[in-house]
Amino acid sequence: MMERANEASGVASMSRQDEPCDAAPGEHNWLRAIAANELPEGHRRTVVVGGHTIVLFNSQSRLFAVDNRCPHMGFPLDRGTVQDCILTCHWHHARFDLESGGTFDQWADDVRVFPVRVEDGALLVDVADRGDRRRHFLRRLGDGLERDIRLVIAKSVIALLDQGGDSSEVMRAGLEFGVRNRRDGWGAGLTILTCMANLAPWLDADDRPRAMYHGLAAVAEDSDGHPPRFTIRPLPGGAADLATLKRWFRRFVEVRDSEGAERCITTAVRSGAQTPALADLMFSAATDHRYLTTGHVLDFTNKAFEALDHGADDLAEPVLASLARSYARGERMEESNEWRNPIDLIAICERAFESIPAALEAGRRMPSSAWSGREELATVILGEDPQAIADAILSALGAGGSLAELAGTVAYAAALRIARFHISNEFGDWDTAHHSFTFANAVHQAIQRAPSAELLRGAFDAAMSIYLNRFLNVPAARIPTVNGAARPDSRELLESLPALLDRQQQVDSAGALVAGYLASGGDGAAMIAVLGRALLREDRDFHTIQDFEAAVRLHSYLGATPAGTHALVATARYLAAHSPTVRAQGQTWNIATRLHRGDRLFEG
């Protein structure tokens, strides 16, 4: 709106609100900037008013007051050009409407504008704080997700999480966006986001916002260019009981009917089924076929439930429904040659599954905590006889091993494949070992959520996958040990890890460093935090992030034991194999951080 506070001045003045902020009526802080006659038509003046550096413009007989700091990367806007009341920054050519501050370039953000008026020959600027910053940055986070603009995402995350902001709110924004804007449903982006949310408690406080940035940027990248998905509504009235829905769901997955499967999921959620029952419904179908899509189907399902744990239970319907397509379209290992020849692993598994009920019953008769054969079982799983592997798992079950203990042992064996991975292998073979490990971890986490004989089939799948990967340990890399008489200084080791990972292919050295640190009494949590920081400074790699999160979960389960050490040795070796990257995404984060604290980037 235009105001003529002083007609004698001959200059039209305006009162405007800072877009996108919403000021409460009557909240003003009018301060004198300059004499009105010091700003003739077509000129500009830069002033400091109330602690704000503001550039004043007189354009087309109208007065404007704009924050002098370009919201994109901080360049002084008083060096820009004004044409037809559009201000163009001279660094990256971002354009702004002088009236509202709104940008025409979404990567730049809106610039703050200040109400101005002329009174008694003085030009006054209202510098009162206005609006809801949280709401603004949530909206900007949405803009960054929609347009896959990493810098906008980074700046929004930093602002939202500044001084202990609520990370669950940021997590929720990414989760909602990801499941609704990718027709193929749950994918790598949402998995990375959930991994980062899971890792946050293990990271240093300063690194947690960066972890969420990586997760959200991964969601944006994974959704970019994809059509949205529209969740199928539940059955009218939700008449079917849960047992029937579970039976139907498995049948629809069997015949690759993704729409029928999805409607069973949405109906189960809408009917009020609790998380354990929903997990049982889905995990049963995820293990009806062997090692679906190299384990991704069960892994993604487990991550979807973990995502809901981060204060998002009410999103269960769209989140779980987003998995249906992957179930129906999954690659079934029954149809693969390597699972059938030269040894029919499918037949071995199916015979073992028939024996699970009897083994479970025998195990129930055993004393509590009767089983302690982790190392022995892991050795068999790493061996060359698939029938012996299946028999050993059944034997452990009958000896009183719990479902979680057996699944955890399989995950441990999978981690040992990575810990013993020899660098003479093809580089791409890291992924082969990785898939077995992250799948085994998913089975372990899932079975703690919803234990069942059906889900235990996943542990057999993981064990057979580990068997198929035995060539990765020929020759086997030696797991490092430390001579008790010459233990290194743990602090020096911890501090030297980042520099070690600045050099390529320091695989064995990284493993030895972690082993030496823990053997010298170093704190496992401190090592996880340092490894986490090293992970976050690299450009995102889906498998490296998955591997690290799985190793942290396994180490947490195994504790300060030799087996727990092996879990961290394995992930350190995997990270070293994939470091350093170009670190372009880290540069984006550093720019956003410097902008947030007010650095003048244009000065170097």
36 within 8 A of 120, measured Cβ to Cβ: no
pTM: 0.92
151 within 8 A of 107, measured Cβ to Cβ: yes
CA distance 167 to 565: 30
Residue 511 has pLDDT above 50, yes or no: yes
User: What was the pLDDT predicted at 4?
Assistant: 26
Could you identify the residue written with the tokens 């404007």? Answer: 64
User: What was the pLDDT predicted at 604?
Assistant: 61
461 within 8 A of 439, measured Cβ to Cβ: yes
pLDDT tens sequence across 291-311 = 999 999 999 999 999 999 999
Q: What average pLDDT does this structure show over 526-536?
A: 97
User: What was the pLDDT predicted at 288?
Assistant: 98
Least confident range of 62-76, 165-179, 358-372? 358-372
User: What was the pLDDT predicted at 487?
Assistant: 63
199 within 8 A of 211, measured Cβ to Cβ: yes
Q: Where are the alpha helices (DSSP H) in 162-241?
A: 167-180, 188-199, 208-223
Could you identify the residue written with the tokens 């009897």? Answer: 358
Task: Give the total residue count for the chain.
Answer: 604
CA-nearest of 131, 133, 104, 98 to 116 is: 98
pLDDT tens sequence across 231-277 = 999 999 866 899 999 999 999 999 999 999 999 999 999 999 999 99
CA dist list (Å): 228 to 49, 110, 184, 231, 259: 46, 27, 9, 10, 16
334 within 8 A of 290, measured Cβ to Cβ: yes
CA distance 293 to 299: 10
Query: Could you write out the DSSP letters of every residue in 76-93?
Result: BGGGSEEETTEEE-TTT-
Name the token pair of 233.
């509504």
User: What was the pLDDT predicted at 367?
Assistant: 85
pLDDT tens sequence across 188-246 = 999 999 999 999 999 999 999 999 999 999 999 999 999 999 999 999 986 689 999 99
> In sequence order, what are the residues at sequence separation of 6 or more whose Cβ sits closer than 8 angstroms to the Cβ of residue 336?
none
Count CA atoms closer than 13 A to 568's CA, side-chain side.
30
User: What was the pLDDT predicted at 2?
Assistant: 29
Q: Where are the alpha helices (DSSP H) in 148-187?
A: 150-161, 167-180
Name the token pair of 464.
């057979």
CA dist list (Å): 455 to 194, 284, 375, 448: 22, 6, 23, 10
Evaluated on CA atoms 4, 6, 9, 14, the torsion sign reads: negative
Percentage above 90 pLDDT, the chain: 88
User: What was the pLDDT predicted at 441?
Assistant: 98
Strand partners, 246: none
How many C-beta atoms lie closer than 10 Å to residue 259's C-beta? 12
User: What was the pLDDT predicted at 164?
Assistant: 75
CA dist list (Å): 522 to 361, 492, 525: 42, 11, 9
pLDDT tens sequence across 109-142 = 999 999 999 999 999 999 998 778 889 999 999 9
Residue 432 has pLDDT above 80, yes or no: yes
Percentage above 70 pLDDT, the chain: 94
Q: What average pLDDT does this structure show over 55-74?
A: 95
